[in-house]
Amino acid sequence: MTAPSSSMPQFREDFAKAKHIVVLTGAGVSAESGVPTFRGAGGYWRKWQAQQLATPEAFEDNPSLVWEFYHYRREVMGTKDPNKAHIAIAECEKRLKSQGRRVVVITQNIDELHKRAGSENILELHGSLFKTRCTKCEEVIENRLSPICPALADKGAPDPEAKDAKIPVDQLPRCKKAGCGGLLRPHVVWFGEGLDPAVLDSAENELDQCDLCLVVGTSSVVYPAAMFAPSVAARGVPVAEFNPEKTGVTNSLGYHFHGPAGSFLPEALARHPSEPE
C-alpha cells in the first residue's frame, strides 16, 4: 500500500473537480478552539474521565453529578469561538452552494461550533450540548439557558478538590411540557448508546454520494464513524486526513496533512482558480 500524499496542489485539483464534499470532524478541530476533549493524558473533569460520566448508568446512579459535568461543558462554550478550520469549512460551503456544489459536515462534536461558524449542512452524530431530551416524554428541545436550572448556578467547577453539589433530583432540569415534568438529560449519545438511526442513515447517504471526503481532527477510533473514511476510500474517492497525528486509518487514505486543521484548511478549501469569481 502506498503512503498517503501530502501534496496540497494535488489535493487542490481533486477539490476543484468535486461536486459533493463530505467533511468528517472530531474533537481535534474543537480542541484548536480550546475546547476540553476529556481524552488522553490529563483528560479529566475532577477525578472523572468522560467515559465514566457519559453513560446511562452514571446518569441513573447520580444525575446531579452528570448534570454538573454537562453544565460545566455548556458554560465553557460561552468562552470559546470557532477557529480558522470551522470558518474555512463554512465559507467553502457557502461559496460552493452558489456553484451548485454541496458541502456537508458530519461531526462527532456536540459543541455547535460548526453552526456558529456559519455551516448549514450539519449532521451531528452525537447530538448537541444545547439540546435536552425528557426521560419521560422523550421530547427533544433546544435549550440555551445559562444556567440550565437555578440549582446549577456556579456549580460544575472542574477542580479535583471541588465538592459534588448533590442537587436533589427535583431541582435538576425538568421538562416544561404540560403535565409532564420529567427529568431532562443532555440530548447526546452516551457510551453504550446507539446513534440515532435517522442521523446515521443521512450520514451514510451523504458518504455514498460524495466525490471528495475530508477527515478533520478525529482519532478515527470511535465506531461507526471510524469506518466512514476507509469505506469511502475503498470505492476510489479521494479522502484527505488533516490531523496532528497519524491514525489507524491514515494509510488507507489518499492524503494526510500533518498538523492542526486550522493551518491547512484555509488553503485547502480556498477558491480555486478554476472557480467563477
Q: How many angstroms separate the first and last alpha carbons of the chain?
A: 39
pLDDT at position 35 over 70: yes
- The angle subtended at Cα 28 by Cα 25 and Cα 30, nearest 5°, is 80
Distance between CA atoms of residues 101 and 216, nearest Å:
20
Pick 3 or 260 by higher pLDDT. Answer: 260
Q: Start-end ranges of CATH 3.30.1600.10 in the chain?
A: 37-79+127-188
DSSP state of 227: G
pLDDT for the residue numbered 147? 96
Q: Would you say 29 and 85 are in contact if contact means Cβ atoms under 8 Å apart? A: yes
Percent of the chain surpassing pLDDT 90:
86
| Mean pLDDT rounded to a whole number for the chain | 94
pLDDT for the residue numbered 187? 98
Per-residue pLDDT of 133-149, as tens digits, reads: 999 999 999 999 999 99
| 2 CB-contact burial (10 Å; exposed 0-12 / middle 13-18 / buried 19+) | exposed
Q: For residue 231, give the nearest of 192, 205, 196, 261 by alpha carbon.
A: 205
Active site residues: 126
Q: Is 213 annotated as a binding residue?
A: no
Distance of CA 38 to the CA centre of its chain: 14
Confidence of residue 249 (pLDDT cuts 50, 70, 90): confident
Cα pseudo-dihedral 34, 39, 45, 49, rounded to 10: 170
Per-residue pLDDT of 37-63, as tens digits, reads: 876 556 789 999 888 999 999 999 999
pLDDT at position 225 over 90: no
- Segment 169-188 mean pLDDT: 97
What's the topology of domain 37-79+127-188?
A: SIR2/SIRT2 'Small Domain' (3.30.1600)
Q: Is 33 annotated as a binding residue?
A: yes
Q: Is 45 annotated as a binding residue?
A: yes
Q: Would you say 91 and 268 are in contact if contact means Cβ atoms under 8 Å apart? A: no
Q: Would you say 85 and 50 are in contact if contact means Cβ atoms under 8 Å apart? A: no
- Segment 167-190 mean pLDDT: 97
Percent of the chain surpassing pLDDT 70:
98
Confidence of residue 196 (pLDDT cuts 50, 70, 90): very high
The CATH architecture one would assign to domain 1-35+82-126+196-276 is 3-Layer(aba) Sandwich (3.40)
Q: Start-end ranges of CATH 3.40.50.1220 in the chain?
A: 1-35+82-126+196-276
Confidence of residue 256 (pLDDT cuts 50, 70, 90): very high
Task: Supply 88's cell numbers.
Answer: 474555512
Q: Is 78 annotated as a binding residue?
A: no
pLDDT at position 277 over 80: no
